[in-house]
Structure 1
Amino acid sequence: MTAPPPQAAAGPGPPPGHRPSSTADTRPSPTVDVHAHLLIPEVEARVSGLPGLAAARDLEARRNGPASLAVSGPMVRAVLPRATDVRLRLAAMDAQGVDVQLVSPSPSHYHYWADEETAEKVCRLAAEATAAHCAGAPDRLRGLGLVPLQHPGHTVRALDHALEHGLLGVEISSHAPGRELSDPAYEPLWARAAATGAILFLHPFGCTLDERLDRWYLSNTVGQPAENAVALSHLIFSGVLDRHPELKLITAHGGGYLPTHIGRSDHAWSARSDAGTGCVHPPSSYLRRLYFDSLVHDPHVLRALIGAAGADRVLLGSDFPFDMGTEDPVGALRAAMLLDADFHAVRGGNAAALLRLT
């Protein structure tokens, strides 16, 4: 195991009764980062020049705006080596004090515009490339594949293919064109994931608020948390989590706005007939059936997330190696000044159990 990084500077004071985590880390479990990405050139080569790609890129350009695209292009080129080379990934993990990463393809590889044949090939390439990458360090890397949400009838096959290649599950976006996650067409996917114990990692790509967010990188800073909140609300209010209580779903970005504003959902569930018919229990109760990464960039929000979902439902996340992540995920966790038991649970104990690490 790697040594922990130096203790980060303390953030704002803890809530009453909280004792900060000890600087003497006894490391009862590995430090596990569940939000780390892989760039897969084979996927981009497969879709290059195909009908639909240009329109998808035009939509992305409108949603992000020219200033954001001018920054994102060089940033992606700069992180490409760490997002493709196992040795560089491991060196970065060592510097961060991370023992194990759960590696998922970059959401830019979803390509939900693609036809059935192309989509199936994309998912196969993503699973095989991710499995090969993780095989370069099998004691330290675990992986996720992709499913074509735009073609619900192919999702179970893609999940099975990922599992057959030794991956732990798949990554999904917050929606597909014309379909929300509450769509009944996804019931076979939820059922198969629950039956196999597969992990689903909910990570949005893009935001349907479109040009309203095309400046100041609002497409990410506002759009991604909004997409998380909408997607989770569809899963909760539609009863997906009632029908599939064994579902293992991790949501990126701390679940977005939903966990810290869940009281509004509870009120609507109890006050309005149109909001209270789809799920059996108050919406806030479902937060403790989900998992959330810790990537919220604010110790106050991280403590609120833990208060809403429980310390056993929050997992360390960094968004490696992109610029909207953190280079020091353990330091960011320390800044929240949690109880020792909660700190170690989030640092790695929860993920070690979820990922079945020995």
Structure 2
Amino acid sequence: MTTPTIDVHAHVLLPEIEALVAGLPGHAEARELDARRNGHAALAVSGPMVRERVPKMTDASVRIAAMDTQGVDVQLVSPSPSHYHYWADEDTGEKIYRLANEATAAHCSAAPDRLHGLGLVPLQHPDLMVRALDHALDQGLIGVEISSHAPGRELSDPAYEPFWSRAEGTGAIVFLHPFGCTLDERLDQWYLSNTVGQPAENAVALSHLIFSGVLDRHPGLKLVAAHGGGYLPTHIGRSDHAWSARPDAGAGCAHLPSSYLKRIYFDSLVHDPRVLGSLIEVAGADRVLLGSDFPFDMGSEDPVGALRAVRLAEPDFDAVRGANAAALLRLA
């Protein structure tokens, strides 16, 4: 295989950020909200799970060894979404993105032929986002990671227009990875906050970008949606029907919602070969990228095997395995 196998959904843990925010006004309240939304049973499992995986997320040599076991040649590394801290004020938000961008770049520099990185932007402070994106690119990163929303702001908010313009103009990758869910305590049992909440947040965020016309105004935006875009791609027919049947649904975007799926990139992490096959069918084999959510327990330890289970034609398999990402990341 001449095309490298590329995993676009892998995380780095940055203890420096947690040390920075510890004890700041708003931090305790944010942790309490997170606990309510996830439930104590989930937190009791997640703590030991993360601690067990710290070496894979902080030590580049341990990461590379794990990649070799998986048969992954290149990872696109993004900060753990737990580092977003969208509760933070402007001064703290600026410190967070600078620290995240610099620390992620340093981690990737240990193996520059195998690790490429994404930084962070303070989604809660739109006025800082262009500067934060530029800072990430200045560190040698190739884009940034964002959540599905910030407090009081959806991704359709006009305040984000300068950021979308800058991301489109620079060719930066924007990786949409939700953290948390606004359904709150309804999902605080059985880890529903993740299993249901994450796909729901993906679907809501992408729908805001489609129906508001963001993707019409920025057709060159390199947007990558984690978790296969959540529930949206497999239920896009309902969006198409609403766009056709209701003037309030169809006023913001120029085309059928399903047509925008071919302007978005999706990772392959859907945990079901039938769903992955449907995603590839509706979005196109050229719009799906290998993703594992390395190294969390809700990820895939064998992303290539999961892709192989779909039984794609060899050209499509190779496209998803790495060719699409190689072109997107502009790898030689």
TM-score (norm 1): 0.92
| 1:174 equivalent among 148, 165, 186 | 148
Secondary structure of 1:49 counterpart: coil
**CA apart distance, 1:353:** 0.2
Match of 1:80 in 2: 54
Match of 1:264 in 2: 238
User: 2: distance between equivalents of 1:198 and 1:227?
Assistant: 22
Match of 1:292 in 2: 266
| 2:323 equivalent among 342, 349, 354 | 349
**CA apart distance, 1:28:** 2.8
Aligned letter for 2:154? E
**CA apart distance, 1:352:** 0.2
Task: Confirm or deny that 1:156 pairs with 2:126.
Answer: no
**CA apart distance, 1:273:** 0.5
Aligned letter for 1:290? I
Aligned letter for 2:271? H
Which deviations, in whole Å up to 9, do the C-alpha atoms of 1:246-270 show, x marking residues without a partner?
0000000000000000000000000
Task: Confirm or deny that 1:249 pairs with 2:249.
Answer: no
Secondary structure of 2:247 counterpart: coil
Segments of 4+ moved more than 6 angstroms: none
| 2:190 equivalent among 208, 216, 228 | 216
CA-based RMSD of the aligned residues comes to 0.4
Matches within 5 A, 1:1-358: 27-358=1-332
User: 2: distance between equivalents of 1:308 and 1:314?
Assistant: 10
Q: How many pairs does the alignment contain?
A: 332
**CA apart distance, 1:43:** 0.5
User: 1: distance between equivalents of 2:154 and 2:174?
Assistant: 16
Secondary structure of 1:134 counterpart: helix
Secondary structure of 1:275 counterpart: helix
Aligned letter for 1:62? R
Secondary structure of 2:9 counterpart: strand
User: 1: distance between equivalents of 2:82 and 2:207?
Assistant: 23
Higher relative contact order (CA 8 A, sep 6+): 1
Secondary structure of 2:238 counterpart: helix
Match of 1:23 in 2: none
Which deviations, in whole Å up to 9, do the C-alpha atoms of 1:142-184 show, x marking residues without a partner?
0000000000000000000000000000000000000000000
**CA apart distance, 1:324:** 0.3
Gaps of 5+ in 2: none
* Identical counterparts, % of pairs: 80
Match of 1:12 in 2: none
**CA apart distance, 1:341:** 0.7
User: 2: distance between equivalents of 1:308 and 1:216?
Assistant: 31
User: 1: distance between equivalents of 2:311 and 2:52?
Assistant: 33
Match of 1:20 in 2: none
Aligned letter for 1:206? G
Which deviations, in whole Å up to 9, do the C-alpha atoms of 1:94-114 show, x marking residues without a partner?
000000000000000000000
User: 1: distance between equivalents of 2:130 and 2:68?
Assistant: 36
Aligned letter for 1:187? E
Which deviations, in whole Å up to 9, do the C-alpha atoms of 1:16-53 show, x marking residues without a partner?
xxxxxxxxxxx131000000000001101100110100
User: 2: distance between equivalents of 1:246 and 1:285?
Assistant: 15
Which deviations, in whole Å up to 9, do the C-alpha atoms of 1:262-286 show, x marking residues without a partner?
0000000000000000000000000
User: 2: distance between equivalents of 1:322 and 1:50?
Assistant: 27
Secondary structure of 1:321 counterpart: coil
Aligned letter for 1:135? S
Aligned letter for 1:335? A
**Bigger helix fraction:** 2
User: 2: distance between equivalents of 1:328 and 1:314?
Assistant: 17
TM-score (norm 2): 1.00
